[in-house]
Amino acid sequence: MLYDNYARERRRFEPLVAGAVGLYTCGPTVYDYQHIGNFRTFLFEDLLKRVLEWNGYVVRHVMNITDVGHLTSDADTGEDKMEKGARRTGKTAWEIAQLYTESFIDDMARLNIETPSVLCRATDHIPEQIAFITDIEKNGFTYRTTDGIYFNTSLQPDYGFLARLDKAGLEAGKRVELGEKKSITDFALWKFSAPGEQRQMEWESPWGTGFPGWHVECSAMAQKYLGDFFDIHCGGEDHIPVHHTNEIAQTEARVGTRLANFWMHAYFLLSNDAKMAKSAGEFLRLQSLIDRGYDPLAYRYLCLTAHYRTQLNFTWDALDAAAKGLDRLRGGVFALGEAGANFGANFGDPDAGYRERFTAEINDDLNLPRALALAWEVLRGFLAAGTKKATLLEFDRIFGLGLGAWAPKTESIPEPIAALAAARAAARQSRQWAEADRLRAEIQAAGWDMEDRADGYALKRITVSSK
Ligand code: AMP
Ligand code: ZN
């Protein structure tokens, strides 16, 4: 079952073509770094893809890079975010697109987000967008103003269904901002470069030099790579009332479909109970967490603890708790032993009962918090160590926490400490207790602790607690 925002209900998911799923997720606008709020949405999409794969589907995942046309205002009056970003940084729009795209790809990898099958730039698909607008124009859904070609939403009685928009209320409330638009919900398909201004990013078109509106790129690329009607389209909750509403409108005008069978949205990451936003100036990057000593996967763990359809308020305490949870889970899984010495070539099979319960949780509209709780139940339960480990590594195909690859960092023991420890072990062997105690004190003074064990000893660095 997946929650479809178009139907506003949980629906049983069946792919349109047996065995294969087409998934389109709106990607980053690369005028700045992505913040961890953006990554909450990308993490949700990664989890969705993994859950679909868990169920045996082959997923074709398409994600766009918005590198032109996303304006600072949803009313199509603002400036292009790319040109604004270029001014802010003193680089060209093309340079910042490259810089922030690379940084986005690095952060995706640091969060164990799988690379999409297709990662496509809007600026590489200008002809497709022009063809898209040309078709809509032929079908009679466009009109021209002095600054661009607009989509006429009043020709669609169903316009705004995804968001359950109250069109009459919107019209009455915002009459002043209308400008040359016929209706407040109309949106730009193609914007003209301002007379006398040379934009860094502009193209020739049948309507004049300019650039595509932001909404066109996603529908044009989705149709190119996934067809006119595919399985699932995703984004953050802010996409419901404008971007995805307009994608559906223009696709209906072009080919008569609502583009995707399921429309799914991740709810916001908040910071101090307000939306974390790039445009608001202050925001946390993944690098900001790393700079404070956090493992990026602690953020992934944090996102697993909240359902994607609830907003999540970011606090450092919550991240601390997630980092601890991740550490304990890693440590617990590691302590179960390694394949090879303890378990032969592998650990055996995952426990069938737990696997079934886990599948039920993740197929219940991605209930990752409960799936995670199940992992803890397995770790603390009474299964054989090998079965526990196999079960948890199986679960990690969804969690993506890299549990199988993790091992505690072993610190190399300095030569003088090793020599003192060997001397103390020898003293104990020959029952010279005073000498053994003296050597232990010397080892401790150097910052190490020597633990005697039945089969020898272990050395650990004495950690000074920060609390
Ligand atoms: P953008 O780079 O602004 O185009 O956004 C990239 C993705 O992040 C979109 O799917 C947005 O809906 C999503 N997004 C933006 N802000 C947040 C937030 N605070 N929490 C979760 N997702 C967000
Ligand atoms: Zn989009």
In angstroms, the CA 33 to CA 254 distance is 34
- Look at residue 459 in the predicted model and tell me its pLDDT: 81
Query: Whose CA is closest to 404, among 462, 339, 313?
Result: 339
Tens-digit pLDDT profile for residues 333-373: 999 987 776 787 788 899 999 999 999 999 999 999 999 99
Atom 15, ligand 1: residue with shortest CA distance: 38
Residue 15 CB–ligand 1 contact under 6 Å: no
pTM equals 0.87
Residues 400 and 54: beta-carbon distance below 8 Å: no
- Tell the burial category of 183 from Cβ atoms under 10 Å away from its Cβ (0-12, 13-18, 19+): middle
| Ligand 2 centroid, distance to 26 Cα (angstroms) | 4
Can you tell me whether residue 2 is helix, strand or coil?
A: strand
Q: Is any atom of ligand 1 closer than 6 Å to the C-beta of 36?
A: no
* Mutation pick for ligand 1 pocket among 26, 38, 283 (CB with most ligand atoms within 8 Å): 38
Element (H, E) at 436: helix 433-445
Question: Which residues share a beta bridge with 203?
Answer: 210
Amino acid at 156: Q
Pocket test for ligand 1, best of 32, 41, 239 (most atoms within 8 A of CB): 41
- From the CB of 221, is ligand 1 less than 6 Å away? no
218 Cβ below 6 A of ligand 1: no
Query: Which of 134-148, 290-304, 331-345 bottoms out in mean pLDDT, i.e. has the lowest?
Result: 331-345
From 160-169, 257-266, 334-343, the region with the lowest mean pLDDT: 334-343
240 touches 265 (CB < 8 A): yes
Which ranges of 230-295 does DSSP label H, i.e. alpha helix?
A: 243-255, 286-291
C-alpha of residue 70 to centroid of ligand 1, in Å: 13
Atom of ligand 1 nearest to the CA of 70: 4
Q: Which of 286, 247, 236, 260 is nearest to 156 (CA)?
A: 247
Tokens of 367: 């209930």
Task: Tell whether ligand 1 has an atom less than 6 A from the beta carbon of residue 442.
Answer: no
Q: Which residues contact 136 (CB under 8 A, 6 or more apart)?
A: 142, 151, 189, 250, 253, 254
236 lines ligand 1 (CB under 6 A): yes
74 CB within 6 A, ligand 1? no
Q: How remote is the CA of residue 28 from the centroid of ligand 1, in Å? A: 8
Give the pLDDT confidence score for residue 92 in this predicted structure. 87
52, 359, 406, 411 from 218: Cα distances, Å: 22, 32, 38, 49
Atom of ligand 1 nearest to the CA of 236: 12
Give distance in angstroms: CA of 269 to centre of ligand 1. Answer: 9
Ligand 1: atom nearest CA of 237 is 12
User: Is the pLDDT score of 467 beyond 50?
Assistant: no
Amino acid at 103: S
Distance CA 118, CA 129 (A): 17
Number of H helices, E strands in the chain: 15, 16
Ligand 1 atom at minimal distance to the Cα of residue 269:
20
Residue 173 has pLDDT above 70, yes or no: no
For residues 277 and 237, the answer to whether their CB atoms sit within 8 Å is no
What angle (nearest 5°) sits at the alpha carbon of residue 112, between those of residues 215 and 387?
135
Does 429 have pLDDT greater than 60? yes
- Please give the torsion angle defined by the CA atoms of residues 46, 48, 49 and 51, in that order, rounded to the nearest 10 degrees: 120
Nearest-atom number in ligand 1 for the CA of 30 is 2
**pLDDT tens-digit readout, 99-134:** 999 999 999 999 999 999 999 999 999 999 999 999
The reported pLDDT for the residue numbered 17 is: 97
Ligand 1 mean position, distance from CA 276 (Å):
9
Spacing, Cα 69 to ligand 1 middle (Å): 16
Query: Ligand 1 atom closest to Cα of 271?
Result: 19
Percent of the chain scoring above 90 in pLDDT:
73
Phi-psi region of 22 (alpha: psi -120 to 50; beta: other; left: phi over 0): beta
CA of 38 to the centre of ligand 1 (A): 4
Q: Which residue minimizes the CA distance to atom 9 of ligand 1? A: 236
Ligand 1 nearest-atom number relative to CA 28: 2
Angle at 300 between CA 315 and CA 335, to 5 degrees: 110
* Ligand 1 centroid distance, CA of 156 (Å): 28
Cα–Cα distances in angstroms (integers) from residue 379 to residues 295, 357, 358, 382, 448, in the given order:
22, 15, 14, 8, 31
Residue 251, pLDDT > 70, answer yes
Mean pLDDT throughout 222-248?
97
Cβ of residue 25 lying under 6 Å from some atom of ligand 1: no
Q: How many angstroms separate the CA atoms of 107 and 115, rounded? A: 11
Sign of CA dihedral 111, 116, 122, 123: positive
Residue 465 has pLDDT above 50, yes or no: no
The Cα–Cα gap between 222 and 445 comes to 65
Q: Which ligand is nearest to the CA of 273?
A: 1
Cα 45 to Cα 24: distance, rounded to the nearest angstrom: 9
Q: What is the pLDDT of residue 281?
A: 47
Lowest pLDDT segment from 139-148, 222-231, 379-388, 401-410:
401-410
Q: What is the largest CA-CA distance in the chain?
A: 98
Burial (Cβ within 10 Å: 0-12, 13-18, ≥19) of residue 218: buried
Distance CA 112, CA 397 (A): 11
Which ligand sits nearest to residue 29's alpha carbon? 1
Can you spell out the DSSP letters for 200-238?
Answer: SS-B--TT-SEEE-HHHHHHHHHHHHH-SSEEEEEEEGG
